[in-house]
Amino acid sequence: MVADSRTSSRAAGLRPLNAPRLVRVLTGDGLPIAVVEGERRRAAQIEDVWYVDDEWWREPIARRYYRLFLDGGVVRTVYHDGERDEWFAQGY
Amino acid sequence: MTVACIYIPHFALRMALLERPGLDGVPLVLTSPPSSRVVVADCTQEAVDRGIKPEMPLREVTALCPEAVFIQPNPARDAAAFDRIVDALESFSPFVEPGEPGCCYVDLQGLERHDATVEDAVTRLLGLVPPALRPRAGVAPGKFTAWVAARRAPPGGFRTVAPAEVVSFLTPGPIDWLPLTDELRKRLGRLGLRTLGEFAALPVSAVQARFGPEGRRGWELANGRDDAVVRPRERIETVVERLTLPAPATSRETLLIGLKRLIVRAFGRPELRFRTVRQARLRVLIEENRSWEKEMTFREPVGRERVIEVLGHRLAAIELPGAAEAMSLELIGLTAETAHQELLPGLRSRRMRPLVEVARQLKQRYGESPLYRVVEVEPWSRIPERRHALLAYDP
């Protein structure tokens, strides 16, 4: 009988893509007013806002996404994680 | 021949109780694997006392006994635990035959060199099984009588049947204990036969004429004539691969990707080089400590692509009761025989050849291929990181 290798499953086999990236977001009245990614960029406009509430039966996911137009013409999608009270950048 | 039967009644339920000891004494019902008609697969004595019995639909159970607790099957956990028990018993004797889950036969012949009496040997055997599983043992000249004795032994204890007592010991036992097909059992029931003694009292020629070889075998067992030897389990060459999914998966697409990954990894192992397999066992671990498993025996030895195709079809057809957390694949019966010629490497698409060469070169240099392919996992998901994944490209 060939011995079971007992090696742990390699996460390298299947990796999630587009994982959220922790980002520093400055807020005013609970809304994002600037994103700091090396340099501080002011949010010139909030183009869209939407919620994702899911998987309350397992590890709840509560995200409020903002699509922002930043100074310099940069577009960023960030979200506030309601469970962890942290901000993340993630393409949607 | 002296045989010991180590018996753990309601094995799957006992395993569940090990994890949730607070349920001890509660009527427990083990449900059958998820399918269109879920029924009672097994139940504890507390449940039997309330009128619950195997094969009963769950709706009836709820009506009959609202306080009954349903336990979902976890065959992967149970099989692993049973294997550990058999391994432990094999440290005692090389002649150990695993029966149904929770039941093992041990040939005690020759063990007098280690233990002064049979009682000492059986006590030592029982000590090899976790006491929380409440094992019991029976010792008799044959396997069937040893099994009946084990069923009648107290938890943690044993019962010994001397050769001269076998017939009188078996006589009051219910006829349902004979290892017969359901159909034959029903026919015997219709004839009003209730005990082993009633069946044993019939003339053997009449039993043979009416019920054929199976009936005759049952009649012999009921009369204590049992010459079946203890057959140790075969050492079959196997390859096992496991994969933990990055996130609990509910979609079939994710499972299929995981399955493909497992098969490619398994066939990449040196043991399977230029070889095919006869059997595969796929296990899916589901959240909340549940599992699903399927064993498939191929009509002919098959290679990687055929395994992917067959298991993929099977996986596509199942309804899992929850999100899958991990998968494991066991390939059994490795052989060098091939029934059909697999596609020769030289006939693969020429376009892919440079890429395959580069991947091999990188793998040689870095230990594993650093190339990945983007695959759709749950493209409809509201959670962006669940939509796509990177799958290692390892030709």
Closest CA to B86 of B37, B30, B128, B55: B128
Whole-number pLDDT of residue B393: 79
- CA pseudo-torsion sign A25, A26, A31, A33: negative
Is the CB of A16 less than 8 angstroms away from the CB of B372?
no
Residue spans of beta strands (DSSP E) within chain B: 3-7, 28-31, 40-43, 69-71, 96-98, 103-107, 136-140, 158-160, 238-249, 276-286, 290-302, 324-335, 372-376, 388-392
Q: Do the chains contact at B258 and A14, CB–CB below 8 Å? A: yes
Calculate the average pLDDT of chain B. Answer: 86
Q: What's the one-letter identity of residue B263?
A: I
Task: Give, to the nearest 10 degrees, the angle between helix B182-190 and helix B204-222.
Answer: 120
**B222 has a pLDDT exceeding 60:** yes
| Nearest-CB residue to A1 (from B238, B258, B265) | B238
The answer for A 32-71 residues in CB contact with B (under 8 A) is 52, 54, 58, 61
* CB < 8 Å to B378, chain A: none
pLDDT at B171: 92
Give yes or no for residue B337 having a pLDDT over 70: no
ipTM of this complex > 0.85? no
pLDDT of residue B212: 87
Please report which confidence band the pLDDT of residue B293 belongs to, taking 50, 70 and 90 as the band edges.
confident
Q: Over range B40-48, report the average pLDDT.
A: 88
Min Cα separation B203/chain A (Å)? 47
Tokens of B10: 């309601």
The predicted structure's pLDDT at residue B223: 93
CB < 8 Å to A3, chain B: none
Residue B98 near residue B82, CB atoms below 8 Å: yes
Apex B85 CA angle, B79 and B86, nearest 5: 90
Question: pLDDT of B93-146, one tens digit each?
Answer: 888 999 888 999 999 887 767 777 888 888 989 999 988 888 999 999 999 999
For residue range B233-251, list pLDDT tens digits in order.
Answer: 877 788 999 998 888 888 8
**A91 to each of A21, A66, B387, how far by Cα in Å?**
10, 11, 12
pLDDT score of B6: 94
Name the strands in the sheet holding B238-249, side by side, starting at the edge strand that comes first in the sequence.
B238-249, B324-335, B276-286, B290-302
From B235, B237, B389, residue closest to A17, measured CB to CB: B389
Q: Which residues pair with B367 in a beta bridge?
A: none
Q: For residue B44, which of B66, B18, B70, B62 has the smallest C-alpha distance?
A: B70
Tell whether the model's pLDDT for residue B231 goes beyond 50: yes
On chain B, the residues whose CB falls within 8 A of the CB of A16 are: 246-247, 385-386, 389-390
Q: What is the pLDDT of residue A7?
A: 44
3 state SS of B20: coil
Closest residue to B382, CB basis, from A1, A15, A52: A52
Interface test with A, best of B383, B388, B391 (most A CBs within 10 A): B383
**Residue A13: per-residue pLDDT:** 61
pLDDT tops 70 at residue A9: no
pLDDT digits (tens, 9 = 90+) for B338-387: 555 555 655 556 667 778 878 877 877 777 778 888 888 888 888 898 88
Q: Which of B157-166, B176-185, B260-269, B337-346 has the lowest mean pLDDT?
A: B337-346
Question: Which position has the token pair 């054929």?
Answer: B212
The number of C-beta contacts closer than 8 angstroms across A and B is: 73
Contact (CB, 8 A) for B233 and B96? yes
* Tens digits of residue pLDDT in B361-372: 787 777 777 888
Between A9, A17, A92, which is nearest B244 by CB?
A: A9
370-389 of B, contacting A, C-beta below 8 A: 372, 374, 382-389
Give the pTM: 0.58
Residue B341 has what pLDDT? 56
DSSP annotation of B377 reads: S
Contacts of residue B232 in chain A, CB cutoff 8 Å? none
